[in-house]
Amino acid sequence: MWERIANKAYELWEQRGRPEGQDMQNWLEAEAIVMEEIHEARE
């Protein structure tokens, strides 16, 4: 799961124009997205 979150965070970072200093924001958003995807897959 860590790798999936990391990939999503990187994707978000690139989509936003690679801004500096938003690592934690991107990580937390990616984590929420991945957790939601997992939750939806289990339903």
Apex 39 CA angle, 37 and 42, nearest 5: 110
DSSP helix/strand/coil, 22: coil
pLDDT tens digit sequence for 1-43:
999 999 999 999 999 999 999 999 999 999 999 999 999 999 8
The model carries a pTM of 0.88
